[in-house]
Structure 1
Amino acid sequence: MTEFYSNGKLLLTGEYAILDGANGLAIPTKFGQYLSVKNATTGQINWQSLTDKNIPWFTVDLSLKDFSLLATSDVQFAERLISILRETKALNPSFLDACNGVYVDTKLTFPKDWGLGSSSTLINNISQWAQVDPYKLLEATFGGSGYDIACAQNDTPIVYHKIGGNPKVEKVNFDPVFKNRLFFIYLNKKQNSRDAIKAYRQLNIDKNELITQINGLTTQLIAAKDLGKFETVINRHEHLLSKTLKVETIKNQLFPDYQGCIKSLGAWGGDFILATGTMDDMQYFRQKGYDTILPYSSMVL
């Protein structure tokens, strides 16, 4: 049996603008996804996907010859997987040529609705298995900036951006001394990144100016030596994106009376937010029904 693993991701700065080349501060998470492959003689790909509780949430049997669908628990997801495997084969025509069948198990180490990268970790794992470029496979399937692939492959915080369509990854020293005052809170719904990207693409804005401002904020956030400076930067970032997207900040929408600062992470409106405060302050969110709250050190690799 061969096993692969990829880290999950969170984007602290640069959401949306990272699609156009802005610098984004991204952090790999302690959560991720495994993919294991075992040879078989079935002439098929027998695929099973497990939740973090080891419960199968998706199964599919595919023809090894042409990836045609034989049986599945979820046709829509099966079609997505078939598309990924066909794009993988296009990138490496010899992929799976030498075997007579495979059993494939994937296993998330986080609930799949958390939005920590169930798709990007899958793409990176398949790329390792097939020995193809994960950025090219991502571009051919889900699209996006590729920062999530960079997180899948790195074990430290990174600054990510694309230059002429090519990914550039810089490892950075980002380990705030005030991290005990930083918390990640799940908004109880998964955001569709593809829809968010499509909406952003349709905006008529000066993207060069946006990139310049985001780059400055990313640099300032990394350099922040105390919580006050950190909060100033994330507030500026929130207001800049709010003005750009013409969408109220998540704090104004849901938590206007919270005393600390709040920042959206990734596509606005779902998944996780970052909140500053104390452990006692987190009771504010619990009282509103947001019970999934992770301290910074419990989330960040």
Structure 2
Amino acid sequence: MMKELYSNGKLLLTAEYAILDGAKGLALPTKFGQSLKLETSNSKALLWKSLDYNGTIWFSAQFSKIDIKTIHTSDADISQRLAQILLKAKQLNPAFLSRKTDYNSIEARLNFPRDWGLGTSSTLITNIAQWANVNPYQLLAATFGGSGYDIACAQHNTPILYQRNEYTPIVSEVPFHPNFSDQLYFVYLNQKKNSREAINSYRNLDFDKTALISKIDTITDKILTCLDLKEFAALLNKHEAIISETLKIPTIKDILFSDYSGTIKSLGAWGGDFVLVTGTASEMNYFKDKGYSIILPYKEMIL
């Protein structure tokens, strides 16, 4: 018996940080994601292995099926985190992993490098939630936390508008297909940002949240109806300035690329993973010359 699940990766174009307090965020599911292959075996244990995009096993573990205790693992910290997710799923659905005929040989496989920050955790949570037949937003809240937009991206194949609402967020598919997408690129900054730490830092700030949400919502709405690159870039620049002022930290462009002629927009937690850049294919040499070699055109990244 075999079953395969799949969840999309994610990028957040607008409302980073503010999305935690109820701002509308424009989120983009990616062509990259994670699969979860479920099979039955003769083993009495729950067998788990995680594969990287190149087929390399980067994590493996054996758990007892009854109490999800680690029997053997290649990484104790990751095993503890995975066991926590499986136990929370079992708490939400006690029938999960309770039958002898249940799947017990599991293979998780990414089709993108783990350090890209496209949703290694959110795609795993969504796949496990599907397997366990539980609410993925509830499982996320009980484990990693966060706004949940990444869970919504995992389940949708088009751009979405996302707004927090406990375990039933407001999610709507939107027709965001910019006719200038050939001038949009994603540049990998080659430095991982811990989302939980970034969220905690944001939570400790003192500012007018209602005013921030209002400003960000207005920008998001305008981006959805934007027809040309010049207006789009101006809206992204305004968004960057607002979040920079809120966080009291400079924009990525000011820090790393102040002499670049185009627009640079952070995506998600500031300071890590990918940024969205406007420009031509030849203008991407600017980033390559600075050592940023991983550059994906919009159409290669976004569903």
Corresponding residue for residue 13 of structure 1: 14
SS at match of 2:217: helix
Post-superposition offset of 1:99: 2.6
Contiguous gaps of at least 5 residues in structure 1: none
Matched, 1:83 2:84: yes
Residue identity matched to 1:200: Y
Residue identity matched to 1:20: D
Task: Report if aligned partners of 2:129, 2:135 keep a CA contact under 8 Å in 1.
Answer: yes
Corresponding residue for residue 173 of structure 1: 175
SS at match of 1:142: coil
Matched, 1:36 2:48: no
Contiguous gaps of at least 5 residues in structure 2: none
Give the whole-Å Cα distance in 2 for the aligned partners of 1:50 and 1:272: 22
User: What is the aligned length?
Assistant: 301
Corresponding residue for residue 286 of structure 1: 288
Post-superposition offset of 1:43: 1.4
Name which of 142, 145, 148 aligns with 1:143: 145
Post-superposition offset of 1:147: 0.3
Name which of 170, 191, 197 aligns with 1:195: 197
Task: Report if aligned partners of 2:89, 2:139 keep a CA contact under 8 Å in 1.
Answer: yes
Task: Report if aligned partners of 1:39, 1:99 keep a CA contact under 8 Å in 2.
Answer: no
Residue identity matched to 2:272: G
Post-superposition offset of 1:166: 3.5
Post-superposition offset of 1:164: 5.5
Give the whole-Å Cα distance in 1 for the aligned partners of 2:98 and 2:71: 19
Give the whole-Å Cα distance in 2 for the aligned partners of 1:247 and 1:166: 33
SS at match of 1:47: strand
Give the whole-Å Cα distance in 2 for the aligned partners of 1:122 and 1:222: 29
What are the equivalent positions in structure 2 for 1:260-271 lying under 5 Å apart? 260-271=262-273
Task: Report if aligned partners of 2:135, 2:167 keep a CA contact under 8 Å in 1.
Answer: no
SS at match of 1:33: strand
Give the whole-Å Cα distance in 2 for the aligned partners of 1:144 and 1:215: 19
Give the whole-Å Cα distance in 1 for the aligned partners of 2:38 and 2:116: 25
SS at match of 1:48: strand
Aligned identity (percent) is 53
Corresponding residue for residue 110 of structure 2: 108
Task: Report if aligned partners of 2:138, 2:167 keep a CA contact under 8 Å in 1.
Answer: no
SS at match of 2:157: coil
Label 1:165 to 1:90 Cα distance change in 2 as closer, same or farther (>3 A): closer
Corresponding residue for residue 74 of structure 2: 73
What are the equivalent positions in structure 2 for 1:152-171 lying under 5 Å apart? 152-163=154-165, 166-171=168-173
Residue identity matched to 1:23: K
Residue identity matched to 1:159: L
Name which of 229, 232, 236 aligns with 1:230: 232
RMSD over aligned Cα, in angstroms?
Answer: 0.9
Give the whole-Å Cα distance in 1 for the aligned partners of 2:58 and 2:43: 22
Greater shift in the superposed pair: 218-227 or 161-170 = 161-170
Residue identity matched to 1:13: T
Residue identity matched to 1:35: L
TM superposition outliers: structure 1 runs of 4+ over 3 Å: 163-166
Residue identity matched to 1:21: G
Label 1:164 to 1:53 Cα distance change in 2 as closer, same or farther (>3 A): closer
SS at match of 1:163: coil
Residue identity matched to 2:134: V
TM-score by length of 2: 0.98
Post-superposition offset of 1:12: 0.1
Cα-to-partner distance string for 1:196-249 (whole Å, 9 max, x where unaligned):
000000000111110000100101111110000000000000000000000100
